[in-house]
Structure 1
Amino acid sequence: MSFWENFWDIFWWFFTACVFFAYLFGVFAIIGDLFRDHKLNGWWKAVWIFFLCFMPFVSLLVYLAARGDGMAERSIERARRDQEEADSYIRRVSSASPTEEIARAKALLDAGTISADEFARIKNRALV
């Protein structure tokens, strides 16, 4: 009988594969959190890495129980900081400075593309 002929063998194979990938995700999340935590001493980081290598499932569960709250806080802080950096970058590249905007409007006014009233509206909007 072939492996692929039995439904439960296939189910068990997929289940163990999912558990293995979830475990790998947890290990890499913990390693990333260890090196992101600046309050933790380097020796404690080495101890956690040692136990993750030699007692993987137990140390993964202990780490999540002991330091899970701090892990969540660091993750939230990092996401907030990344969002602020992205927002500031978008603001910096998307909007021109008021001086540049008024200079462009003045060039359009001199070329006759816009009227004096439109130039005044653009100037007021840029200065607000």
Structure 2
Amino acid sequence: MDDYPLLNLFLTMMYVFLWVLWFFLLFKVVTDIFQDHSLNGWAKAAWLVFVILLPYVGVLVYLIARGRSMGRREAKQAEDREEAFRKYVRQAARPEDGPGPGGGHVSELAKLAELKDKGHLSQEEYDKAKAKLLV
């Protein structure tokens, strides 16, 4: 370790960081090319060839030419994912349509089972009420 000065260690760490950052940026640009619905197939192929054959220039030109719309597309996708999540949560939290103010066959069946367990309903009464709910 004596042959490797501290400054060289910092420089090596910086190079590794920049190398990882470069690949992240390259993958981000390639992903954006494929996810952009405003580009047709030929335009996507042209951008992809440009980015692969001349990676540094291609990525730089792509960011200059389409960087702003890249950010808008990313924000729109985040909003769409958020809205889909909220819609799923509302749908999952909504009680089933059915009898009773609490709504839902599940809650009614739970109430019937509780009444039967407490002895307020006989097995026969429970079966009749359950059949009524499930029809």
Where does residue 96 of structure 2 map in the other structure? 97
Query: Aligned in 2, Cα 1:2/1:42: closer, same or farther, shift over 3 Å?
Result: farther
Work out whether residues 95 and 103 of structure 2, in 8 Å CA contact, stay in contact via their aligned partners in 1: no
Which runs of 5 or more residues in structure 1 are unaligned?
Answer: 114-128
Where does residue 59 of structure 1 map in the other structure? 58
Where does residue 87 of structure 1 map in the other structure? 86
Which runs of 5 or more residues in structure 2 are unaligned?
Answer: 119-135
How many residue pairs get aligned? The number is 112
1:73-94: CA deviation from partner (whole Å, max 9, x where unpaired) = 1111100010011111112122
The AA in structure 1 aligned to 2:14 is F
Distance 2:93 2:8 in 1: 56
* Structure 1 position 95, deviation (Å): 2.9
Q: SS of the counterpart of 1:23?
A: helix
Where does residue 119 of structure 1 map in the other structure? none
Pick 1 or 2: higher relative contact order, CA cutoff 8 A, min separation 6.
1
Listed as ranges, the matches of 1:115-126 within 5 Å are none
Where does residue 33 of structure 2 map in the other structure? 34
Distance 1:67 1:8 in 2: 38
* Structure 1 position 36, deviation (Å): 0.9
Distance 2:90 2:66 in 1: 36
Listed as ranges, the matches of 1:11-26 within 5 Å are 11-26=10-25
RMSD across aligned positions (CA): 2.5
- Structure number with the higher helix fraction is 1
Identity of aligned residues (%): 30
Distance 1:106 1:61 in 2: 63
Q: Give the alignment's TM-score, normalised by structure 1.
A: 0.74
The AA in structure 2 aligned to 1:71 is M
Distance 1:69 1:8 in 2: 37
Q: SS of the counterpart of 1:18?
A: helix
Query: Aligned in 2, Cα 1:98/1:15: closer, same or farther, shift over 3 Å?
Result: same
Query: Aligned in 2, Cα 1:52/1:2: closer, same or farther, shift over 3 Å?
Result: farther
